[in-house]
Amino acid sequence: MRTFNLEIVLEILWLGLNNLRLHKLRSVLTALGIIFGVAAVICMLSISEGASADEMRLIQLLGTQNIICNSVKPEGTVQTSEETTRMLEFGITRADYRLIQKTVPHVKNVIPLKTVAFAIQHRDKKVEWSAIGTSPEFFETVNIDVAQGRVLTSTDMEDLKQVCVIGSEVSRELFGFEDPIGQFLFAQAASGLVPYTVVGVLAEVSTAGAPARGVEDRNLNREVYIPYSTSQMLYGDITSKRSSGSRELSKTEFSSLYVTVDDIEQVIPVSEMVKRVFEHGHEKEDYEVKVPLARLKLAEKKKANQQLMLGFIAGISLVVGGIGIMNIMLATVTERTREIGIRRALGARQGHITVQFLAETVVLSTGGGLLGVILGYGASHAINRFAEWETIVEPWTVIVSFTLSFFVGVFFGMYPAMAAARLDPIEALRHE
């Protein structure tokens, strides 16, 4: 049984590479389909990965063991043009709060939030942002870091202190380059301006490359947090908001509740129990219950489907590139028919011819794949920089793309290589 000699195989590979070198422009043009195919795969998957990572960060910020309950203005409460003042009573109540604490199992903590003011002022600077009463546990629950100072404490709650923790944009807008710690700002409500001492500044919360989004639809960078007990003492349950020449009075005991569950496996069952608590105590649907864990599972499924779809679409360009390589190699076989006949006459076997042409195809596809990886990586960073879309190039996308380019070369190069090997030596020598 005859076997390949390593020296002969290396010589055959060298002949294949040398032939590509002699036709540089044709080789580059042939590989363009693979180059752009690999680059497209990397770019599309990096954009998908960036978008998914943004959503995952947002959900992680919400906390996978949290259930978020929000007060919602019920339908049918739109102000008419004749109204100048109105009172709306809706949302989550203290009865709901107590019922969740006492009757729902696996609840570790229930954290209140109450929006009490809609404008913040420091000296001559004023912004239309919110002041929110909450408990010290809120900051740990939603994984917010502190850039300066400290968060609220139980002492602040017990002593009804007029202190606050501010978002990063509040700090920049009102204090500029000054150190805000220890300075005063004022929360404007119906009762007038109420002073608070700044004790902490939150680190910037950024998703999608921009700080405009934070926890849920809130922008933590533009909010001021005060002790919940202080907010109750100073503002009560009624808040006032002016807009378009009218004043809206609303009585809402809690703007939101963050229900923390002690076991991640119990989050979904507990969320169903919380919904039943609200259904029992509310005639109108003036609340909403959001479950970050359910959103996380949905996001993971969506990410997998999206990557599969984008990978399939981008993979089509690889197939097109492979077909282009096969067409050129078939034309090359016809062009070099006489050369193949001479080699066969001098003792080359079919396997030698197959290896030579297959080597050329694989070099074209893998070389194109390497250039495609470089182009795709560069294009992803350009998109990130100029289009301000977050892109993440995962190592597995590079490995998969490059591996695919190799297999495309083998698959689409096999037929031209075998066609060349099957040529009849005598007929090949007669070919003009």
Residue-range domain boundaries for the chain:
6-58+299-430, 73-285
Q: What Å distances lie between residue 126 and 83, 160, 180, 207, 218, CA to CA?
A: 28, 25, 15, 26, 19
pLDDT of residue 70: 92
Contact between 185 and 174 under an 8 Å Cβ cutoff? The reply is yes
Q: Give 58-112 pLDDT, tens digit per residue.
A: 676 677 788 999 999 877 555 544 445 567 888 899 999 999 999 999 999 999 9
Contact between 42 and 317 under an 8 Å Cβ cutoff? The reply is no
Torsion on CA atoms 354, 357, 360, 364, rounded to nearest 10: -100
Region class of 317: left (phi > 0), else alpha (psi between -120 and 50), else beta: alpha
Q: Which two tokens stand for residue 168?
A: 């990063």
pLDDT of residue 337: 79
Count the residues in the chain.
432
pLDDT of residue 396: 85
pLDDT of residue 97: 93
Give me the amino acid identity at 68: I
User: For the stretch 175-188, what's the b/e string if a residue is b when 16 or more beta carbons lie within 10 angstroms of its beta carbon?
Assistant: beeeebbeeebbbb
DSSP state of 205: P
Torsion on CA atoms 85, 87, 91, 92, rounded to nearest 10: 120
Contact between 396 and 57 under an 8 Å Cβ cutoff? The reply is no
Q: Which residues of the chain have pLDDT under 70?
A: 1-9, 11-13, 15-16, 19-20, 58, 60-61, 76-86, 206-218, 241-247, 428, 430-432
Q: Is 322 helix (H, G, I), strand (E, B) or coil?
A: helix
pLDDT of residue 77: 54
Q: Give 20-58 pLDDT, tens digit per residue.
A: 677 778 778 888 888 888 888 888 888 888 877 777 776
